[in-house]
Amino acid sequence: MARTMRHQYYALNKPYGYLSQFSDEARHPGLLKLELGLPKDVYPIGRLDRDSEGLLLLTNDNRFKSDMLDPEGEHERRYWVQVEGDPKETDLRAFERPMEISIRKNDYTTRPASARVLEGLELPDRNPPIRQRLSIPTAWIEVCLTEGKNRQVRKMTAHAGFPTLRLIRKGFGSLDLDTLAIEPGKIQELTQEEAYQALRNA
């Protein structure tokens, strides 16, 4: 009798500088360097840029992975973004309207998103620290999308006039780094119910 595969789900707080794949590439470290002890059949869902941080989900459940990546599902992704400049709420209304950006050298029109200023947010410094010009202020904003194109958040903030300095994926649906309380470079196993609840709430 064939054995039934046990589906497994993990949440990783990916540190800056790591690829969203297990192998190294062009001298950049992959996830194997984090020594996570994951089963061999578990892989990341989607990608998080090497220079981005935050929540990355991993699984061996192909149906869950497919549902999470389905653009028609419009699953919410939340990002905390440190930007150059001093955006006001009126500036951030630009995210509510479709933007014309370039994705892999092709023109792309974004779906309506949302953004708001995060007042008084204080986070530990990144290692290495961001490149900051002393004469220009910085601010933190939260950006919520229902799609995840290549470097989309960075391109949208630049389009709005506020280049990204630091980007942290904060949440997927009901999964959130605050409630998961995962330290950078660490993982937490999720139950199947927790994983699919996040999908339903995304």
pLDDT tens digits for range 72-88: 888 899 999 999 999 99
Does 1 reside within a domain?
no
pTM score, two decimals? 0.93
Token pair, residue 50, equals: 């090497």
pLDDT at 4: 63
Residue with tokens 């540190």: 15
**CATH number of the structural domain spanning residue 80:** 3.30.70.1560
Burial class (CB in 10 A: 0-12, 13-18, 19+), 21: middle
Catalytic residue among 24, 49, 67, 91: 49
pLDDT-derived band at 70, boundaries 50, 70, 90: confident
Does residue 145 have a pLDDT over 90? yes
Indicate if the pLDDT at residue 21 is higher than 90: yes
- pLDDT at position 71 is 80
CA dist 2 and 159 (Å) reads 53
Residue 202: what pLDDT?
62
pLDDT tens digits, 178-198: 999 999 999 999 999 999 988
Residue 179 structural domain? 9-70+174-201
196 lies in the same domain as 168: no
Structure tokens at 18: 């790591």
Rounded to whole angstroms, the maximal C-alpha distance in the chain is 69
As given in the structure block, the two tokens for residue 20 are 């969203």
Are 136 and 162 within one domain? yes
Tell me if 87 sits within 8 A of 122, measured CB to CB.
Answer: no
Q: How far apart are CA 165 and CA 143, in angstroms?
A: 14
Report the C-alpha gap between 156 and 32 in whole angstroms.
31
Residue 15's identity, in one-letter code, is: P
User: Under a CB-based contact definition with an 8 Å cutoff, are residues 173 and 201 in contact?
Assistant: yes
102 and 66 within one domain: no
- The pLDDT assigned to 175 comes to 94
Residues 27 and 104 occupy one common structural domain:
no
Residue 181 covered by a domain = yes
We report the CATH number of the domain holding residue 40 as 3.30.70.580
Sequence-ordered list of residues with C-beta below 8 angstroms from that of 116, at least 6 positions apart, any chain: 89, 92, 141, 142
Number of domains in the chain: 2
Q: Is 49 annotated as catalytic? A: yes
